[in-house]
Amino acid sequence: MNDLRFAFVGAGFWARFQLAGWRQAGGAKCVAICNRTRSKAEALARDFDIPRVYEDVEAMIKNEKFDVLDIATSVETHAPMVRLAAKHRLPVICQKPMATSLREADEMVAICRSAGVPFLVHENIRWYNTIRELKKVLDRGTIGVPFRARIEYCNGYPVFDNQPFLKELEQFILTDMGSHILDAARFLFGEANSLYCQVRQVHLGIRGEDVATVMMDMGGRTTVTCELSYASILERDPYPEILLLVEGERGSLELARDHWIRVTTAEGTWARRYPPPSYPWVDPLEGIGQTCIVSCTEHLRKAVQGECEAETTGEDNLKTVRLVFGSYESAAQNKVVCLNR
């Protein structure tokens, strides 16, 4: 099969790593890049051998021949660009968070559905190698039916240093990392019936929340708590790792620091380390948070080319978006939000 031809929109902090992920995964070629600040796009074009640079997305769509549009821009631009792709009957991949509101996300999915356009979301955390291994253990039933789980993403990483625009977001950690963590919870444990959330703002000089705790009832059988924080001062900061503990009828399953997975049953404890792959372009401070882009983009390529069924479609990610904005509703009203209404 010929390489997938894609055009790329965006030249911000994560654009370089997403383009590196595409190149590392192979089977795809970026034929054009667009960014409103042309000089930034030109710099990436030189580094990644992208032949053409644009400042206007529609001009790029009209002048270039490619198979899919990959959007890696700020969230407020996602909806108009997805509408533009649908207008031109062009498959589209969108960075998370999908949209600025649940209504907007609904409209984006509906527009692509109506146009018959494949709509995929670049949701990479479920592609952590450790998360995939956890899913295998759960599916084998080694620890029985889970009754409780805790997912932790709590650290003191100075996230505002390399992405200062995050300080200005009215809604921050739930849209930024909550999109990832809540999607991982869905991937591992299924869909939520209800949730309860509390948020806090600890850092000075920011507009949104930098701490959130979400408790969910997953299908009436598993209680999952997701703890998110960029304000944690810990003896050993785990960034960028996600820690996880699952308790089941017949045992427990743990994703511990340094990529260790431990399974404990009546027979004892089994442990194995699953270090992420190593790539020369990965920022050492980011580690696994960037290496999983490779698996994600490889899956998206195969999905666009019809080699597999896509996991993170717009339709699927809409369920994660409902969790994000349901969490904000719960925190604002201090109430349990039912999701199966």
CATH label of the domain that carries residue 41: 3.40.50.720
- Do 66 and 202 share a domain, yes or no? no
**3-class secondary structure, 198:** strand
Which pLDDT does position 164 carry in this prediction?
93
- Do 99 and 117 share a domain, yes or no? yes
Domain boundary among 65, 96, 122: 122
Q: Is residue 307 part of a domain?
A: no
Strand-strand pairing, 222-229 and 243-248: unpaired
- Do 19 and 112 share a domain, yes or no? yes
Cα-Cα-Cα-Cα torsion 216, 138, 319, 240, nearest 10 degrees, comes to 80
Phi/psi class of residue 144: alpha, beta or left (left: φ > 0; alpha: ψ in -120 to 50)? left
Which pLDDT does position 284 carry in this prediction?
85
- Do 269 and 166 share a domain, yes or no? yes
Domain boundary among 93, 122, 151: 122
Q: Is residue 108 part of a domain?
A: yes
Closest CA to 7 of 91, 96, 97, 119: 91
- Do 242 and 154 share a domain, yes or no? yes
pLDDT per residue as tens digits for the range 158-191: 999 988 999 999 999 999 999 999 999 999 999 9
Which pLDDT does position 266 carry in this prediction?
97
Which pLDDT does position 184 carry in this prediction?
98
The answer to whether the CB of 55 falls within 8 A of the CB of 35 is yes
Which pLDDT does position 297 carry in this prediction?
97
Q: Is residue 62 part of a domain?
A: yes
Q: Is residue 305 part of a domain?
A: no
Reading the block at residue 297, the tokens are 């983009």
Instruction: Note the residue count of the chain.
Output: 341
Q: Is residue 330 part of a domain?
A: yes
Which pLDDT does position 39 carry in this prediction?
97
Which pLDDT does position 162 carry in this prediction?
85
What is the rounded distance in angstroms from the CA atom of residue 194 to the CA atom of residue 191? 9
**Burial letters for 275-311: b for 16+ Cβ neighbours within 10 Å, e otherwise?**
ebeeeeebeeebbbbbbbbbbbbbbbbbbbbeeeebb
Q: Is residue 42 part of a domain?
A: yes
Q: Is residue 301 part of a domain?
A: no
Phi/psi class of residue 205: alpha, beta or left (left: φ > 0; alpha: ψ in -120 to 50)? left
If one counts the domains in the chain, the total is: 2
Which pLDDT does position 285 carry in this prediction?
82
Strand-strand pairing, 268-273 and 260-265: antiparallel
Reading the block at residue 41, the tokens are 């796009």
- Do 132 and 200 share a domain, yes or no? yes
- Do 25 and 140 share a domain, yes or no? no
Low-confidence ranges of the chain (pLDDT < 50): none
Which pLDDT does position 340 carry in this prediction?
78
Reading the block at residue 14, the tokens are 């994560």
For residue 141, which phi and psi values (nearest 5 degrees)? Answer: 75, 20
The residues pairing with 214 across neighbouring beta strands, listed in sequence order, are: 197, 226
CATH label of the domain that carries residue 146: 3.30.360.10
What is the rounded distance in angstroms from the CA atom of residue 92 to the CA atom of residue 102? 19
- Do 213 and 231 share a domain, yes or no? yes
Strand-strand pairing, 243-248 and 251-256: antiparallel
- Do 113 and 129 share a domain, yes or no? no
Which pLDDT does position 341 carry in this prediction?
59
What is the rounded distance in angstroms from the CA atom of residue 152 to the CA atom of residue 258? 14
- Do 108 and 132 share a domain, yes or no? no
- Do 55 and 164 share a domain, yes or no? no
Reading the block at residue 304, the tokens are 């666009």
For residue 304, which phi and psi values (nearest 5 degrees)? Answer: -65, -35
Helix axis angle for 314-333 and 178-189, nearest 10°, is 110
The burial class, CB within 10 Å (0-12 / 13-18 / 19+), for 271 is exposed
Residue whose structure tokens are 């051998």: 49
Domain boundary among 100, 122, 144: 122
- Do 80 and 130 share a domain, yes or no? no
Residue type, position 240, single letter? P
Q: How far is CA 94 from CA 75, 140, 164, 199, 226, in A?
A: 9, 32, 22, 27, 24
Domain residues for the domain of 66 are 4-122
Q: Is residue 162 part of a domain?
A: yes
Neighbours of 184 (CB within 10 A): 25
